[in-house]
Chains A and B, each alone.
Chain A
């Protein structure tokens, strides 16, 4: 897997974790069951995301900033040739290429970075 794609996945997973904590339901459970201090956890995740964003290469960062402006999900899984960010099929040629995930590519339709799962 391309290191920048791995970094993007990590950023997205952390942002999902942060979003879950901030939205109340997961935050309440983390606090009640696991004794997590939600505000501290959110701050910690924000710091980590900032640190990881700083490691994005310039070209990737520009696209990342463009996509984050549209919503929280910057990486979309591709399953059976469908981008699960916008639910539009990516080209058959791209979907079947070897070495997928070894480069950073984005969806022609929604612009999200693509992570091939199938």
Chain B
């Protein structure tokens, strides 16, 4: 399993329009091309997860995530907001890079946890925030993941 397999360039937004955390979640959920009702349910679940504690892990990175029956397979979206979003992150700094992960309640190959773990591990690498800042097109994110071998 490679992380890049879960990304599509349509779900990589290097210039999020959102100015708030909620709007960023909505904007990224919309990348999956679900119907409006499913978007609403996913957003609600992501918010409920955020209410348990922020998914902003620091160093400008947030990893909102949830499982929901409205998706049939694991999906990841990435959004970048260079000016930053208030994610109430652990280090209290704004989130600039958001990896959003959604998965169905049950998966045949149970990829949700490994994917979450790999993105968390990737996010902790020292050079990753700068590399994410330097991306000039969505394909470069895929190439970055490939270069990291994840």
Contacts and interface: CB of A to CB of B under 8 A. Distances in A.
B44 A10 contact: yes
A111 interface: no
A6 interface: yes
Contact of A26 (B41, B69, B113): B113
A16 B105 CA distance: 7
Given A16-B67, A29-B113, A117-B72, A10 B41 contact: yes
B83 interface: no
A86 interface: no
Contacts of B68: 9, 13
Which of B41, B55, B105: most chain A CB closer than 10 A?
B105
Contacts of A117: 69-70, 72
Q: Which range contains the number of B residues in contact with the other chain?
A: 20 to 34
A54 to B, nearest CB: 17
B117 interface: yes
B128 interface: no
Contacts of B57: 33-34
Interface string A80-118: 000000000000000000000000000000000001010
Given A13-B45, A34-B55, A77-B69, 17 more contacts: A9-B68, A9-B69, A9-B70, A13-B68, A14-B45, A26-B113, A30-B52, A34-B53, A34-B54, A34-B63, A35-B90, A36-B52, A37-B53, A45-B52, A48-B48, A77-B72, A115-B70
